[in-house]
């Protein structure tokens, strides 16, 4: 069982920890970064090494920093959640996957499965604990992928037959819109297939996952913010990560560069699509103008022909008239004789009949 939720906001962090306390949750799984492509995805709702403790007076809770384990693409924080009213405390494991792009997928199924089994090994997903809280920015894309893969692997361990499509549709009844993109669904299938290898008795598969994921390398992104800058954002105080890499002393420049490159490529694609739409619209407008011009010329030719060949004295309703639309066109006074009178005047005389 899981609780899938949106990333906590500056004014909802207190209620987030209240939910964790009420549901007796043992683990919080975070699948997004605080800032992605210069956009704030959620608030800094847990303490860091420098802050050590955060107080949430609205709901009467405190969160203390205990320890952290930094890997190349995820970080595990050990936190202490305390009720300031009763004095009771609980230990919460905070698993932070730091390299999963928004609307995207992880680098490989191996890295994701290595992270998933790291969460499992902690015992935080065991039935004796409350449901794990899983969140990304919206709580449906990356969170849906995580919950679908883990659910399928649990059912396979029990020996049950699974229908991944039907299982996802059933999960969407409880959390609408789970798994946002075709890539996320495709990645879910690939990861489930890869995870099934472990269930078939391949004991070395986890070791290969760890080697392929390269979790022991220096982190490329900022996993553990050592300093939190508070910035005014949309009228709220929002915690932002200050990029700083561990080990080699580099700054978070590589993270910013990669985000900038991704943003530039996305902007270029959007610009090209926008220009294509403009060109297509201009072409359609030009074609419409040509068709209207041809229709107008045909109408004028037809009207000239009609004015030249129509019988004299025939009453017609003209489309346009200088003195008014739809005026009845009557014979002019110059030839007062009607067609019938003229026909009678020029008719041949009748022969005389002898009696």
Radius of gyration of the chain (CA): 38
Q: Look up tokens 């909802």; give the residue.
A: 12
Q: Which two tokens stand for residue 224?
A: 């553990």
Pick from 171, 177, 182: nearest CA to 105: 182
How far CA 109 is from CA of 30, 193, 209, 355, in Å, comes to: 18, 9, 8, 121
The continuous run of DSSP H or E covering 114 comes out as: helix 109-121
Q: In this structure, what DSSP letter does residue 321 have?
A: -
Angle at 216 between CA 103 and CA 2, to 5 degrees: 45
The residues, any chain, with a CB within 8 Å of residue 198's CB and separated by 6 or more, are 205, 206
At 43 the three-state DSSP class reads coil
Contact 171, 163 (CB under 8 A): no
With residues binned 3-state (H G I as helix, E B as strand, rest as coil), the percentages for the chain, rounded to 5, are 40, 20, 40
Q: In this structure, what DSSP letter does residue 349 have?
A: P
The continuous run of DSSP H or E covering 207 comes out as: helix 205-213
Q: Which two tokens stand for residue 264?
A: 């530039």
At 315 the three-state DSSP class reads coil
Pick from 320, 289, 326: nearest CA to 303: 320
As annotated, the active-site residues are: 136
| Helical pair 164-172 and 142-157, crossing angle rounded to 10 deg | 130
Q: Are strands 328-329 and 316-317 parallel, antiparallel or unpaired?
A: antiparallel
């Amino acid at each position: 069982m899981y609780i899938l939720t949106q990333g906590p906001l500056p004014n909802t962090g207190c209620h987030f920890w209240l939910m964790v306390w009420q549901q007796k949750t043992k683990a919080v799984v975070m699948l997004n970064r605080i800032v992605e492509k210069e956009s704030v995805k959620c608030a800094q709702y847990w303490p860091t090494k420098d802050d050590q403790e955060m107080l949430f007076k609205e709901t009467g809770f405190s969160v203390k920093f205990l320890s952290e384990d930094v890997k190349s693409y995820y970080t595990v924080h050990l936190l202490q959640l305390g009720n300031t009213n009763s004095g009771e405390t609980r230990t919460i494991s905070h698993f932070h996957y730091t390299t999963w792009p928004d609307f995207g997928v992880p680098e490989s199924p191996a890295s994701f499965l290595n992270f998933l089994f790291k969460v499992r090994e902690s015992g935080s997903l065991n039935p004796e604990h409350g449901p794990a809280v899983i969140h990304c920015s919206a709580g449906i894309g990356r969170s849906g992928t995580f919950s679908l893969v883990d659910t399928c692997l649990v059912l396979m361990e029990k020996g049950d037959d699974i229908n991944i499509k039907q299982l996802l549709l059933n999960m969407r009844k409880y959390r609408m819109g789970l798994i946002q993109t075709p890539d996320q669904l495709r990645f879910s299938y690939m990861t489930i297939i890869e995870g099934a290898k472990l269930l078939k008795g391949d004991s070395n598969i986890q070791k290969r996952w760890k080697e392929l994921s390269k979790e022991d390398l220096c982190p490329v992104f900022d996993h553990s913010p050592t300093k939190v800058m508070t910035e005014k954002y949309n009228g709220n105080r929002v915690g932002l990560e200050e990029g700083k890499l561990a080990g080699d002393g580099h700054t978070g420049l590589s993270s910013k560069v990669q985000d900038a490159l991704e943003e530039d490529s996305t902007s270029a694609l959007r610009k090209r699509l926008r220009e294509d739409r403009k060109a297509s619209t201009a072409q359609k407008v030009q074609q419409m103008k040509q068709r209207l011009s041809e229709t107008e010329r045909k109408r004028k030719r037809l009207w000239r022909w009609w004015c030249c060949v129509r019988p004299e004295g025939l009453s017609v309703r003209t489309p346009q008239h200088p003195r008014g639309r739809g005026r009845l066109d009557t014979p002019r006074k110059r030839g007062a004789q009607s067609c019938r009178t003229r026909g009678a005047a020029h008719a041949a005389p009748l022969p005389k009949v002898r009696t």
